Structure formats: structure tokens, C-alpha cells
Chain A
Amino acid sequence: MPRRGAPPEVNAGSMADIAFLLLIFFLVTTTIETDAGLDRMLPPMEPPDDQEVIIRQKNIFTVNINKNGQLLVEEELTDLKDLREKAIAFLDNGAAPQGSPEYCEYCKGARDPESSDNPEKAIISLKNDRETKYATYITVQNELVGAYNDLRNREAQRLYGRDFTEMEAQWLNPETPSSIRDDLKDKVKRIQDLFPQKLSEAETSTSN
């Protein structure tokens, strides 16, 4: 009679293995999602010193966004797609004459005397309307940051043979060993100094 007696006991020894497998699967796959975004610094409420800094008009690159999302770049109606190119041309211009202390030897721009003297002096001024869509604003910000990143990448490639954005990401990553980070810090700082981000945001204008 096959049914006689207690049913054979199921071997539960491999249960632990199955559970471990699950455990390891969840340990590996649950990534704590990190947010990403565009880092910006706001200007302090009061300038550190009261003395007026005189900035020449040619060193300012004005970007105006109206409420319909149209761009006025340097008094010229511009498509968003051309913004990055124009910003790069402006930042990389290096109009200061050779021999002067402001001469920019790494600039590859047109050296147009009507545009910025050197990247250190070049300021991008962004102005937007109160009714501008946030999405448009972010796109413009993204393009301007992209212009800086493109130039910084170029210099990083020239000096260190790798991209600036990648170096910066590795530097900011807390998992990178500190010995590498210290080394990267100097390099990142140096590239940042070549093209310092000077993005000024004026108070928003009300329409009409």
C-alpha cells in the first residue's frame, strides 16, 4: 500500500539557498535613486563691498526670455538651438590683444574686438519674464551650462586627455577613493578657473 504511514518529509535544506538568492537579488537591484539636476549658485543678497564694478558692455552676453519662450540674445532674436553655439563663441572669444595681461592663450575664438576680452571677464546675463515657462527656462539654463561644459571639456581633453564632466562626476562621487579625489580636485579647479561660470540672473521683469 503506497499510502500507508506519514507522508515523506520534504527536504527544507535548500530553502536557505533560495532565500539567500532572493536576498542577494534585492540587495543588488535596489538602487537608492539619486536625483540629478542643474547646480546653480544664487547671488548673495548684498554685494560683499559697495563699490561699483564697472563691466564693459562687450563683456556681457545678454539673454532675454519673453513670456512666449522666445529668446533675445545680444539684441537678436535667436532660436534656442543656436544659443549654445553663440554662448561658446562669446566665451571663447578672447579679444584682449596679445601681450596684454588679460590675453587668453587657450582661447580659440574669433578674437572679435567687439566681443568678450577673455573668459574670466565674460559674463552671461540671463533675464526672464514672470510668465516664462519653467521648462523653457531650464532649457536655456541647460544650454548655457552646456556651453561652459563644452569649453571645459575641450581644455580638459587638451591638458589631461579626458572630459571635464567625467572628472567632475568622479570627484563628486563619494565612492571614489580619497587619494584619487585629491588629485582630481586640483585638476577640476584648474579647468574651472580657465572658464569660470559667471552667470548672472537679473530680477525678473513683469510683462508690459
Chain B
Amino acid sequence: MAKFNKKKSGELPAVSTASLPDIVFMLLFFFMTVTTMKDSTLLVENTLPNASEVKKLEKKDRVLYIYVGKPTREYQKVFGSEPKIQLNDKFASVSEVGDYILQERAKKPQELQNVLTTALKVDKEANMGLISDIKLELRKVNALKINYTTYEGDAFRNLQK
């Protein structure tokens, strides 16, 4: 009897919490690394204009991006300093925009293919001629919903240099 009594009175061994910090740190690092947005590296200068009547672009999975602007300094030797179009990670000409949209659209799930928005991230120094050409290409492939991505701010600041 005495033996059993002794066993019952013995307390439960405490669970070692020494590894808890490691687990939490693991979670911490996971979130710290995962929440950095994956964005294509910019090859063009991209100072967006300001606008005050903006709408938020919700649901990133339905957005296709087109960047337009002067090539950044290291690319200017090769590509010149005229505004260029950047699709994904490379420069493209106007005629490639349509194909790019069709390609990207085909990658999206069926139910999203009709609700895609094309976000035009255009440097404010670009000329409208190029933008008009892009818009014409977009109309050709029936990508009619576009968004001129801007910073939020007073639109009249655009006019000052």
C-alpha cells in the first residue's frame, strides 16, 4: 500500500516550455517573410501621379499590372530614355500588350476571367500617346476594365514640377 500511496502523491512532471520560444519565433519568422509583397522588380521609373477621387483596388488576384515609364538609369544605356512598357519582368513593345493580357487571363481561374482589371501604373512623365496605344491594344483583347493607379493626394500637385 505504501508504495501506491507514494506514487499518487507524486506531482505530474511539468511540461518543458523551453522550446516554446523556438516555436513562436518560427511563427514570427514565417509571418515576417510571408507578408512581404511579391512584386515584380521595376525596370522603369514609376512615380505615379496623385489623385483624390481614388477607389481601392481590392482583390489582388483579379488585377493585371502594366508598368510604363522611363527605363531606370542602369537600363537607359541599352533602352534609351523614352518611356517604355514593362510586362512582368521585362520590357515589351505595344504590340505585345494584347498577348500578355490574353496569356495572363488564361492563367486565372475561369470564374475570374471576366472580372479582371488592368492596372496601369504609369509614370507621370510619360506621354499620352503611348497610353493611348496601350488602351487601343486593351480594347482589342476586350480588357475594358482599367484602373489608372495613382497615389492618394491632391491632383493639382501633378502640375508642379
- Write out, one digit per residue, whether chain A residues 131-163 have a CB within 8 A of any chain B CB (1) or not (0): 111111111011101100100000000000000
A42 to B55, Cβ gap below 8 A?
A: no
Cα distance, A43 to B56, chains bound together (Å)? 22
* Size band of the interface chain A makes with B: 35 or more
Write the nearest CB–CB distance from B151 to chain A, whole angstroms: 8
Q: Whose C-beta in chain B lies nearest to the C-beta of A31? A: B35
A172 to B27, Cβ gap below 8 A?
A: no
Cβ 8 A contact of A146, one of B32, B49, B52: B52
A38 to B53, Cβ gap below 8 A?
A: yes
Write the nearest CB–CB distance from B161 to chain A, whole angstroms: 10
Task: Tell me the count of chain B residues lying within 8 A, CB to CB, of chain A.
Answer: 57
Interface SS of chain B: helix, strand, loop or mixed? mixed
- Does A45 reach chain B (CB closer than 8 Å)? yes
- Write out, one digit per residue, whether chain A residues 105-128 have a CB within 8 A of any chain B CB (1) or not (0): 000000000000000000000001
| Chain A residues closer than 8 Å to B122, beta-carbon distance | 134
Q: Whose C-beta in chain A lies nearest to the C-beta of B118? A: A42
| Chain A residues closer than 8 Å to B127, beta-carbon distance | 130-134
- Write out, one digit per residue, whether chain B residues 80-116 have a CB within 8 A of any chain A CB (1) or not (0): 0000000000000000000000000000000000000
Residues of B within 8 A of A (CB): 17-18, 20-21, 24-25, 27-28, 31-32, 35, 37, 49-60, 63, 117, 119, 121-129, 131-132, 135, 138-140, 142-152, 155-156, 158-159
Residues of A within 8 A of B (CB): 12-13, 15-16, 18-20, 22-23, 26-27, 30, 32-45, 69, 80-81, 128-139, 141-143, 145-146, 149, 165, 168-169, 172-174, 201, 203-204
